[in-house]
Structure 1
Amino acid sequence: MDMPILILLTTQILLPAFFLVWLWLPRPADRLAWAMRVFYGACYVAFISVIGRWDFLSSALAVALPILFLACAALSFTRVYNRAWDTSTSMVRSHGFTAAMAVFFLALTARALSGYGYQETAVNLAFPFGAGTYYIGQGGSTTSINHHHADQSQRFALDIVALNALGARASGLMPKNLSDYVVYDREVKSPCTGVAISTHDGVENNRISQTNTEEPPGNYIILACGTARIMLAHFEKGSIAVTGGGIVTQGQTLGRVGNSGNSTEPHLHMHAYIGGTVDYNAGQGVPMTFDGRFLVRGSTVTIP
């Protein structure tokens, strides 16, 4: 099993299951022991609900898991409600580690949530896809929820996938066929009216889990929309439908989603920057909003 999948299953399935079972077994000695288990479990569930990649399993689980945990916590209280509040000889010795770990995950959650906002002036764009439900795999203003944020020009970049009826991005955890990914070969539409100042085509798709680090964006388009430059990357080879210097209108088809460049699976990479012109590494990244909405990891967008 691939290491990323093993980590995902551990953090998003096994550990939440542990905290659910721990509410019941072994039976808490007193109400304080129960409360500390609930506190620790709630902090972890909050953390993984925010930073988890739920599109691998089902985006619905990000909402279902906290509800399930709260319900189980309430039910588990019936086993200890008539017990003493604290029977331990030392609160620090009995509950210090649990409290410290709970605070640790609470701090990580707060750090991730700090990426839900921005201070800079944003560029408002149209969402680059047609009908369907889409999920933001990377996005936000902190590295906790957006691995692009450490890069100056890509600070507010998005990685976008599409979801099936089950809320998953693909048929299986890591299928080998590109066509098993919902977003693959889907039309990408221009998020604004402007000029295609640079395009590149001819880069082959990668196999799943492999990347092309020599040509990071793969097949891409850079649009000039007002003072902002919008880069869209990882297109399917031969699908780019505009030429450099051509005028594009909002909603016009630009190409189709592929898996070219530094991409382990089909998705659309998109970021906005100012300065740098056609050198997407030299610009200063700026936030993007879509109908005024700032998208972050875990955001879903449904286009009727």
Structure 2
Amino acid sequence: MFGIIFSITMLIVLPVAFIGVLWKASFKTKLEWLLDALTTAVLLVWLFQSGNWSWVGYFFRYLWLGLFIIALVISWKKIRSLPFTAKYEKSQKRSIGIHVFLLFVFGAYNTFVFPSYTVDEEAIELAFPLKQGTYFIGHGGNSVQLNYHHAYESQKFALDVLKLNKIGTRASGLYPKDLYKYAIYGDELYSPCNGKVVESRNDLPDLTPPEMNPENPEGNYVALVCEQHEATIFLAHMQYGSVNVTEGEEVKKGQLLGMVGNSGNTSEPHLHIHAELDGKGVPITFNNRFLVRNSLMRTEK
């Protein structure tokens, strides 16, 4: 629950506070206004990229950009006749110092995010394994900023895939216990390649959020080796009783493997997918796209 509160604070309260100050504050000089505007801009760019917007609505992040532009124009009209600098009082100097510090901090966060979008290693091209709507990448990318899996060598390029409903959120409600309120729960899961099943499991129950099963992190899953690469592809957290392939079975790209569930070490229904070879993560792409947090995949059968 703490994670939810923290996310909402970051994605709603912070933008409201910073845009509100830019919109309403009485600046004494253009320098003060410029530092405030730059700090707000850098904050919003960072949140735009790194925030998990499926919590509050994927398109919500564009609202903040629009309001920022409006606040920028209105505040500029109020300060355009002011001098660029002046003799500052102690409180004004303190405010300038705080803005310079925040500008440095948020700027550093952005520099940590940018490497997430590319990889040097050769990626495995796969077919996207879901075909029933608009899917959202909750975790993905080449840095911990956008992908917490990146801290683990075997899963460093893993993806957590959610699905968006009509209002751009991953569920009906903030954190419902009813699994069917999560848009992705029960979606059919298809083989991303021609290959051979090397492991599978089908007997673990779907859990009620926020219950988790750290002793069986994959939950119900399918692991397969594709024809085009020797890495093992893991598709995890599948629905109890839905896995319809077994170890040793040959599968074709697009063949039904089972359904998305909420089994294993997972806080809510989603698909976890990653590739690994000799204990190291291997990048994967879909339609030649390297997906990162906030990427969308629009699909249909």
TM bracket (short chain): over 0.9
Q: Which residue of 1 aligns with 2:58?
A: 59
2:241 is aligned, of 214, 220, 238, to: 238
Q: Which residue of 2 aligns with 1:279?
A: none
Distance 2:110 2:64 in 1: 16
Q: Which residue of 1 aligns with 2:70?
A: 71
Distance 2:73 2:244 in 1: 56
Q: Which residue of 1 aligns with 2:100?
A: 99
Q: Which residue of 1 aligns with 2:9?
A: 10
Question: What per-residue deviation string (whole Å, max 9, x for no partner) do you get for residues 105-145 of structure 1?
Answer: 11101101211111111000000101310000000010111
Distance 1:251 1:35 in 2: 53
Q: Which residue of 1 aligns with 2:282?
A: 286
Q: Which residue of 1 aligns with 2:143?
A: 142
Q: Is the 8 A contact 1:223 1:229 kept in 2?
A: yes
Q: Which residue of 2 aligns with 1:128?
A: 129
Question: What per-residue deviation string (whole Å, max 9, x for no partner) do you get for residues 210-238 of structure 1?
Answer: 21001000001101113121000000010
Q: Which residue of 1 aligns with 2:253?
A: 250
**Structure 1 range deviating more: 121-130 or 73-82:** 73-82
Q: Which residue of 1 aligns with 2:28?
A: 29
User: Post-superposition shift, 1:71?
Assistant: 2.7
> SS where residue 28 of structure 2 aligns?
coil
Percent identity between the two aligned chains: 38
User: Post-superposition shift, 1:21?
Assistant: 0.7
AA matched with 2:96: H
Q: Which residue of 2 aligns with 1:278?
A: none
Distance 2:210 2:48 in 1: 24
Distance 1:272 1:228 in 2: 6
Paired residues, what number?
A: 296
2:298 is the counterpart of 1:297: no
User: Post-superposition shift, 1:87?
Assistant: 2.0
AA matched with 2:123: A
> SS where residue 29 of structure 1 aligns?
coil
Question: What per-residue deviation string (whole Å, max 9, x for no partner) do you get for residues 80-119 of structure 1?
Answer: 1111111243786451221111111111011012111111
AA matched with 1:142: S
AA matched with 1:303: T
Q: Which residue of 2 aligns with 1:280?
A: none
Q: Is the 8 A contact 2:214 2:265 kept in 1?
A: yes
Task: Give 5+ residue unaligned stretches, structure 1.
Answer: 276-282
Question: What per-residue deviation string (whole Å, max 9, x for no partner) do you get for residues 235-285 of structure 1?
Answer: 00100011110011111110101100000000000001123xxxxxxx211
2:192 is the counterpart of 1:191: yes
Q: Which residue of 2 aligns with 1:229?
A: 232
Q: Is the 8 A contact 1:88 1:94 kept in 2?
A: no
Task: Give 5+ residue unaligned stretches, structure 2.
Answer: none
2:272 is the counterpart of 1:265: no
**Structure 1 range deviating more: 62-71 or 123-132:** 62-71
Q: Which residue of 2 aligns with 1:49?
A: 48
User: Post-superposition shift, 1:70?
Assistant: 2.2
Q: Is the 8 A contact 1:134 1:163 kept in 2?
A: yes
Distance 1:303 1:217 in 2: 25
